[in-house]
Chains A and B, each alone.
Chain A
């Protein structure tokens, strides 16, 4: 990978709001070059999406999250893709992953209450033909999300002056 592209991606992955001018000031590029490079990265799908990690708890929106493990049976001529598609189209579903091991698919679901989530799983997921079994684990606390530590990160203690 080109070093300049790596710099752009690392900066944006850390803070998606960094402007092209700012990015340019950290690299050898001009703001225009940065804008062009970002446009190309967006076009080719390297940059998929810009998002914000929100701590909803702090504004009193107490969302309930659950991790749900699914065992599925595949129908003839249909791979995992078909069942994944059926599932990821529900807005309640925040992520869908195909896994190796004891079960096949793992989802995270967000709802306003435990009842909400439980009903969603019971009515929409468990009833799918391909779904053999579900196992729902409610999230009690999130400590780190997508590389971001959600409570006080550690700070460095240095002498204010040293050689």
Chain B
């Protein structure tokens, strides 16, 4: 408005020292102020994003290969997009029920019964959300009282800690380790539980490590949860991307359905990230409370995405399985590649991330990632962006074309060889 020389519709104020002038340079009597003082104290506790710098660096460069993207490199399958388009053509652009379209909830009930024998009532135990991100936020706000301790297992997705802090809870970190292939063990979890512990946030298959939990491992965790009367928020968004064995939803274990809210979504399995659609499944009490927040902060999830999601559940299985097999092949390719060039990498059994160890290069995760970008134009995310337990590792997404993965591996080999000299 100002740049193109046209005049604004109303006088814009600008600030010089303590007093302000409006757009025409007329002195105003009301003193200016520093708006940062209006930001709530709790915001100071939110850690800055660990990848902001990379984002800025990458934007200006050419010939960059990015293994730093946390989303599929497939476009949403056409039959899903076509259904969204059709619904728009028919004028389906209104609010839906706060809980989400009934057909979508019905379809989810059927899907989870078919897959795992889980029985969720579509009218009271399922809430459709705007991505899993929203589901996480409202699930945490639903269960956390100020001062409650919430156990967060790291390395893990970056949103858990801020969600807990914003809800007034106290995050307590439990680390997973390479020796356990980054699965959570009861031994590691036990010491973190105190009288104040209210809930645990789990994320398996895991971003960034690709770890999954075996049924036995989950049973051990479930025992501890029941023993200590805890609640679990289980983010299972990578559920369908499980390559070895079958995914086990925590809520499918005996006695765990009432103690668990399962968060899931369509982004990863059906390549629908930008459509922003997730869901939560849990007891009517928890789901109803989550809906109470959802109805005021979101009203309902985007209707076009909900229509697409129904189509995905009804007819998306083949396409989804085809994408999963493709990821599986790239997984073998990248893991072998890392081990070949001397970056030890354990076998990720889920999600689409490899998590090679770079500690023996003598560089920290951030140094490695920054120099790799500067010198070889390859983007990977430093492991410590996902918590201290990720230090010494690098998250490399293999949701990239085989050609790009091959080129990235070659460049990384050069880089690692260069470090040795």
A161 and B336 within 8 A (CB): no
Determine which of B55, B73, B330 lies in contact with A160 in the assembled complex, contact meaning CB atoms within 8 Å. Answer: B55
Residues of A within 8 A of B207 (CB): 163
Q: How large is the interface on B (under 10, 10 to 19, 20 to 34, 35 or more residues)?
A: 20 to 34
Is A152 part of the binding interface, using a Cβ–Cβ cutoff of 8 Å? no
Residues of B within 8 A of A26 (CB): 329-330, 332-333, 402
Is B66 part of the binding interface, using a Cβ–Cβ cutoff of 8 Å? yes
Determine which of B69, B326, B328 lies in contact with A162 in the assembled complex, contact meaning CB atoms within 8 Å. Answer: B69
Within 8 A of A (CB), among B54-79: 54-55, 58-59, 64, 66, 68-71, 73-75
CA distance A154 to B159 in the complex (A): 32
Name B326's closest neighbour in chain A (CB-CB).
A10
Is B416 part of the binding interface, using a Cβ–Cβ cutoff of 8 Å? no
A7 and B71 within 8 A (CB): no
Is A28 part of the binding interface, using a Cβ–Cβ cutoff of 8 Å? yes
CA distance A6 to B381 in the complex (A): 33
A163 and B51 within 8 A (CB): yes
Determine which of B66, B158, B402 lies in contact with A161 in the assembled complex, contact meaning CB atoms within 8 Å. Answer: B66
B58 and A27 within 8 A (CB): no
CA distance A27 to B329 in the complex (A): 6
Is B104 part of the binding interface, using a Cβ–Cβ cutoff of 8 Å? no
B332 and A160 within 8 A (CB): no
Determine which of B51, B59, B64, B329 lies in contact with A11 in the assembled complex, contact meaning CB atoms within 8 Å. Answer: B329
Name B52's closest neighbour in chain A (CB-CB).
A161
Is A140 part of the binding interface, using a Cβ–Cβ cutoff of 8 Å? no
A161 and B329 within 8 A (CB): no
Determine which of B74, B75, B325, B332 lies in contact with A25 in the assembled complex, contact meaning CB atoms within 8 Å. Answer: B332
A28 and B332 within 8 A (CB): yes
B329 and A162 within 8 A (CB): no
CA distance A38 to B336 in the complex (A): 22
Known contacts A26-B333, A27-B332; A160 and B325 CB within 8 A of each other:
no
B68 and A160 within 8 A (CB): yes
Determine which of A7, A154, A158 lies in contact with B329 in the assembled complex, contact meaning CB atoms within 8 Å. Answer: A7
Nearest-neighbour CB distance to chain B for A120, whole angstroms, equals 37
Residues of A within 8 A of B64 (CB): 160
Nearest-neighbour CB distance to chain B for A160, whole angstroms, equals 4
Known contacts A25-B336, A26-B332, A27-B329; A161 and B51 CB within 8 A of each other:
yes
B329 and A160 within 8 A (CB): no
Is B415 part of the binding interface, using a Cβ–Cβ cutoff of 8 Å? no
Within 8 A of B (CB), among A136-163: 154, 156, 158-163
CA distance A18 to B68 in the complex (A): 27
A156 and B59 within 8 A (CB): no
CA distance A156 to B81 in the complex (A): 14
CA distance A80 to B207 in the complex (A): 57
Nearest-neighbour CB distance to chain B for A141, whole angstroms, equals 20
Q: How many A-B residue pairs have CB under 8 A?
A: 59
A154 and B75 within 8 A (CB): yes
B332 and A10 within 8 A (CB): no
Q: Per-position contact with B for A8-28: 1 when CB-CB < 8 Å, else 0? A: 001100000000000001111
B75 and A156 within 8 A (CB): yes
Nearest-neighbour CB distance to chain B for A137, whole angstroms, equals 26
Residues of B within 8 A of A163 (CB): 51, 70, 157-159, 207, 381, 385
CA distance A160 to B399 in the complex (A): 12
Residues of B within 8 A of A27 (CB): 329, 332
Is B379 part of the binding interface, using a Cβ–Cβ cutoff of 8 Å? yes
B71 and A162 within 8 A (CB): yes
Determine which of A7, A25, A158 lies in contact with B69 in the assembled complex, contact meaning CB atoms within 8 Å. Answer: A158
CA distance A25 to B328 in the complex (A): 11
**Residue of B68, B330, B337 ringed by the most chain A CB atoms within 10 A:** B68
Nearest-neighbour CB distance to chain B for A27, whole angstroms, equals 6
Residues of B within 8 A of A154 (CB): 75
Name B380's closest neighbour in chain A (CB-CB).
A161
Determine which of A6, A7, A160 lies in contact with B59 in the assembled complex, contact meaning CB atoms within 8 Å. Answer: A160
Name A155's closest neighbour in chain B (CB-CB).
B75
Residues of A within 8 A of B68 (CB): 160-162
Known contacts A7-B325, A26-B329, A28-B332; A158 and B55 CB within 8 A of each other:
no
Within 8 A of A (CB), among B381-408: 381, 385, 402
Within 8 A of B (CB), among A12-61: 25-28
Residues of B within 8 A of A11 (CB): 329
CA distance A33 to B414 in the complex (A): 30
CA distance A25 to B74 in the complex (A): 21
CA distance A98 to B139 in the complex (A): 58
Residues of A within 8 A of B51 (CB): 161-163
Nearest-neighbour CB distance to chain B for A66, whole angstroms, equals 29
Q: Per-position contact with A for B63-106: 1 when CB-CB < 8 Å, else 0? A: 01010111101110000000000000000000000000000000
Which 4 A-B residue pairings sit nearest by Cβ, starting from the closest? A26-B329, A161-B68, A160-B58, A162-B70
Given A25-B337, A27-B332, A156-B73, output 6 extra A-B contacts at Cβ < 8 Å: A7-B328, A10-B322, A25-B333, A160-B379, A161-B66, A162-B69
What are 15 A-B pairs with beta-carbon distances under 8 A?
A: A6-B325, A11-B329, A25-B332, A27-B329, A156-B73, A158-B73, A159-B69, A160-B55, A160-B58, A160-B59, A160-B68, A161-B58, A161-B66, A161-B69, A162-B71
